[in-house]
A and B are shown apart, each in its own frame.
Chain A
């Protein structure tokens, strides 16, 4: 997927000005940046919820169609149980009830919620709710995945647990992914590349992470050096 020469302004505030960015097929691009620099705008344009004022978003044929969106908050249907919350996202793609059921079960099992199928969102902890949302986003048949700071409201331990769950699911079915976050560590753990926003015309920083995802460790010296590069880019104008 490519953002080609996109321009987007909100009144006098120019968020993107002929900005270009590419996410290679079936890779994760982490986007880090301060608030108001266009991270969510980028996601909305990728999801076609928002049109750029000029320029275009080009997707490969295999990335067209439905998208999976993992929001900041889980956005679950409060009156539907865990199973239904995932299964309902499959209705359009799979007419067969048994098939829908199997797919929903598979992903709920992978995020460790097989025992909680009949529970309602009000009966779940914050982490469990976000796990349901993760299962739903992977179960939904799409080739493009958009993540809008889905781990930000969770405590640090839960956050890394969920990142690990996400990683497991992604490895099973890789999708072109745009991952927006405030946290450089999260960005480095998941992304194949990390992009820093802050300049409307071009990324302030775009680094490719060479370490295989499964070998990445938060205290690894190479990752720490990447992190300091990102922080420096975010802090300095």
Chain B
């Protein structure tokens, strides 16, 4: 019941958003300033029928996925090392502070000077997402419960058991927060970099071309697509998390002997 109510509220607020958009379009009465819902949806439909559509979409998804994986792996490893070694953390601090403070556009423009247009989105997304995830993992390691650590040592936990039953579960909330934030950042930066650097294929490149040709309905169609992609990415992420929680619980339940 609660879930149904929640879905109903979500649906109603989405409908309100569409209504506001349509009202704006009617008031402005200009296809260039703000096309209505109908023309945008039909533009979206025709986009999906165009030949390089899948390639454009796939290129963007691949760039986002690649940078996300690189962020997760590198930030996890370096975050753990920094959490365990204060000297290493201090050494990385200037890099992290600079990366957190530099505007996205500066990174994209600089990367465009250094790399080819296809590599810029990947590189920029990595630089923007890395500090977010790194800081979370480092904090996670710093917040590991020293009392539990002592308990594991006293009760003779092997390093493998300690990692499996104490460290990973303790780091998981920090990991999930970092990964979720980095993922949403990656989508935005990849598309922004594609808009600025216009690689041969990519959602951002198509947006840029549509904007140059004043095809606002196409810009909005591609924007809608990116919103869908982000939502899909978040859903997939949540599904993986839920699945792993269920697998862990099922595994735990299998360990418990039947006493009846």
Interface of A toward B, CB cutoff 8 Å: 47, 49, 66-69, 71, 73, 75, 77-81, 83-84, 87-89, 91-93, 101, 105, 114, 117-118, 136, 140
Q: Which of B154, B165, B166, B257 has the most CB of A within 10 A?
A: B154
Give 1 or 0 for each of B161-193: 1 = CB within 8 Å of chain A CB. Answer: 100011001001000000000000000000000
B151 and A75 within 8 A (CB) = yes
B151 contacts A83, CB within 8 Å? no
- Asked whether A92 lies within 8 Å of B154 as measured between CB atoms, the reply is no
Q: List 19 A-B contacts (CB under 8 A).
A: A47-B154, A49-B150, A68-B154, A68-B155, A69-B151, A69-B155, A75-B150, A77-B165, A79-B165, A79-B172, A79-B248, A81-B252, A84-B255, A89-B156, A89-B157, A91-B161, A92-B158, A93-B156, A118-B253
Nearest CB of A to B251, in Å: 10
Question: Which chain A residue lies CB-closest to B168?
Answer: A79
Taking each of A47, A80, A105, which has the highest tally of chain B beta carbons within 10 Å of its own beta carbon? A80
Q: Does B106 contact A (CB under 8 A)?
A: no
Q: Tell me, yes or no, whether B98 is within 8 Å of chain A by CB.
A: no
A85 to chain B, nearest CB (A): 9
Give the 8 A-B residue pairs with the shortest CB-CB distance, closest first.
Answer: A79-B169, A92-B156, A89-B155, A75-B151, A83-B256, A69-B154, A117-B256, A101-B257
Contact yes or no, A77 B155, CB < 8 A: no
B69 at the interface (CB under 8 A from A): no
Taking a contact as CB atoms under 8 Å apart, the answer to whether A84 and B147 are in contact is no
For residue A101, which residues in chain B have a CB less than 8 angstroms away from its CB? 257
Q: Shortest Cβ distance from A91 into chain B, in angstroms?
A: 6
Kindly provide the distance from the CB of A83 to the nearest chain B CB, expressed in whole angstroms. 5
Instruction: With both chains docked as a complex, state the minimum distance between the C-beta of A203 and any C-beta of chain B, in angstroms.
Output: 26
Docked-complex contact A67 and B257, CB < 8 angstroms: no
Q: Is B259 an interface residue (CB 8 A)?
A: yes
Distance, CA A80 to CA B166, complexed state (A)? 9
B173 to chain A, nearest CB (A): 11
Q: B121 → chain A, closest Cβ, in Å?
A: 37
Asked whether B148 is an interface residue with its Cβ less than 8 Å from the other chain, the reply is: yes
Q: Cα distance A47–B153 when bound, in Å? A: 11
Bound complex: CA A113 to CA B165 (Å): 21
13 further contact pairs, Cβ within 8 A, besides A91-B158, A105-B259: A47-B154, A49-B150, A66-B154, A69-B155, A77-B148, A77-B166, A80-B169, A81-B253, A83-B255, A93-B156, A105-B257, A117-B256, A117-B259
Contact B252 A136 (CB under 8 A): no
Looking across the interface, which residue of chain B has its beta carbon closest to that of A136? B155
Q: Work out how many contacts link A and B, with CB atoms closer than 8 A.
A: 70
Bound-state Cα–Cα, A79 to B150, Å:
17
Nearest-neighbor residue (CB-CB) of B172 within chain A: A79
A101 CA to B255 CA, complexed, in Å: 9
Q: Name A101's closest neighbour in chain B (CB-CB).
A: B257
| A117 and B255 alpha carbons, distance in the complex (Å) | 10
Name the B residues within 8 Å of A91 (CB-CB). Answer: 156-158, 161
With A and B bound together, what is the CA distance between A89 and B150 in angstroms?
13
- Closest-by-CB residue of A relative to B149 is A75
List, in ascending order, chain A residues with CB within 8 A of B155's CB. 66, 68-69, 88-89, 136, 140
Q: Could you tell me the distance between the alpha carbons of A112 and B257 in the complex, rounded to whole angstroms?
A: 16
A41 to B97, CA, bound (A): 41
CB A124 to nearest CB in B, in angstroms, measures 15
> Of A73, A78, A79, A87, which one neighbours B255 at CB under 8 angstroms?
A87
Over the window 119-149 of chain B, the binary record of Cβ atoms lying under 8 Å from chain A Cβ atoms (1 yes, 0 no) is 0000000000000000000000000000110
With contacts A79-B248, A80-B252 known, is A114 near B259, CB below 8 A? yes
Instruction: Report A-chain residues with C-beta under 8 Å of the C-beta of B172.
Output: 79
Residues of A contacting B154 with CB < 8 Å?
Answer: 47, 66-69
Least CB distance, A132 to chain B, in whole angstroms: 12
Q: Please measure, in the bound complex, the distance between the C-alpha atom of A69 and the C-alpha atom of B154, giving whole angstroms.
A: 7
Inter-chain CA distance A214–B255, complex, in Å, is 36
Residues of A within 8 A of B257 (CB): 83, 101, 105, 117
Cβ-closest chain B residue relative to A92: B156
